[in-house]
Structure 1
Amino acid sequence: MSFTTQTITNNNITMPSYLAIFDLDETLIAADSARLWSHFLVEKGLAPVTLLTHEATMMIAYAKGTLDMNSYMTTTLEPLKGKSPNEIKQLVDDFIQDIIIPAIYPQALDRIAWHRKRGDHILIISATGEHLVKPIATALGIDNVIAIEIEQNQGVYTGKTTGILSFKEGKVERLKLWLQQQKHSYKGSYGYSDSINDLPLLSLVNKPFAVNPDPILAMHAQMQEWTIMDWRHDNNILR
Structure 2
Amino acid sequence: MRLALFDLDHTLIPLDSDHAWGEFTVALGWRDAQGFAKANDGFYADYKAGMLDIHRYVRFAIEAVRERGLAAAQKAHDRFMHDVIGPALREPARALLRRHQAAGDTVVIVTATNEFVTRPIARAFGVDELIAIELERDARGEPTGAIQGTPSFREGKIARVEQWLAARGLDWSRVQHSTFYSDSINDLPLLEKVHEPVATNPDARLRAIALERGWRTLNLFE
Tell me the TM-score range normalised by the shorter chain: over 0.9
Q: How much does 1:157 deviate?
A: 2.0
What is the identity, as a one-letter code, of the residue corresponding to 1:182? R
**Runs of at least 5 residues in structure 1 that lack an aligned partner in the other structure:** 1-16, 234-239
Q: How much does 1:87 deviate?
A: 2.8
Instruction: Report the Cα distance in structure 2 between the residues aligned to 1:85 and 1:77, rounded to whole angstroms.
Output: 10
CA contact (8 A) 2:112 2:133 kept: yes
CA-to-aligned-CA distance 1:154-176 (integer Å, 9 cap, x gap): 32222222211110001111110
CA-to-aligned-CA distance 1:97-147 (integer Å, 9 cap, x gap): 221121123211111011011011100010001001111101111010111
Q: Which of 166, 170, 177 lines up with 2:152 in the alignment?
A: 166
Instruction: Report the Cα distance in structure 2 between the residues aligned to 1:160 and 1:47, rounded to whole angstroms.
Output: 20
**Runs of at least 5 residues in structure 2 that lack an aligned partner in the other structure:** none
Instruction: Report the Cα distance in structure 2 between the residues aligned to 1:217 and 1:51, rounded to whole angstroms.
Output: 29
1:142-181 correspondence runs (5 A): 142-155=127-140, 156-181=142-167
SS in 2 for 1:81: helix
Q: How much does 1:78 deviate?
A: 1.3
Residue 29 of structure 1 pairs with residue 18 of structure 2:
no
SS in 2 for 1:166: coil
Instruction: Report the Cα distance in structure 1 between the residues aligned to 2:67 and 2:44, rounded to whole angstroms.
Output: 26
Instruction: Report the Cα distance in structure 2 between the residues aligned to 1:98 and 1:74, rounded to whole angstroms.
Output: 25
Q: Comparing both chains, which one has the higher relative contact order based on Cα–Cα distances under 8 Å and sequence gaps of 6 or more? A: 1
Q: Which of 7, 10, 28 lines up with 1:44 in the alignment?
A: 28
Instruction: Report the Cα distance in structure 2 between the residues aligned to 1:58 and 1:121, rounded to whole angstroms.
Output: 32
Residue 202 of structure 1 pairs with residue 186 of structure 2:
no
SS in 2 for 1:219: helix
Q: How much does 1:188 deviate?
A: 0.9
TM-score (norm: length of structure 2) = 0.93
Classify 1:198/1:68 alpha carbon distance in 2 versus 1 (closer, same or farther; 3 Å).
same
Q: Which of 90, 95, 100 lines up with 1:110 in the alignment?
A: 95
* Alignment-derived partner of residue 70 in structure 2: 85
Residue 188 of structure 1 pairs with residue 188 of structure 2:
no
Moved over 6 A (4+): none
Instruction: Report the Cα distance in structure 2 between the residues aligned to 1:105 and 1:203, rounded to whole angstroms.
Output: 27
Percent of aligned positions that are identical: 36
Instruction: Report the Cα distance in structure 2 between the residues aligned to 1:82 and 1:57, rounded to whole angstroms.
Output: 22
How many aligned positions are there? 217
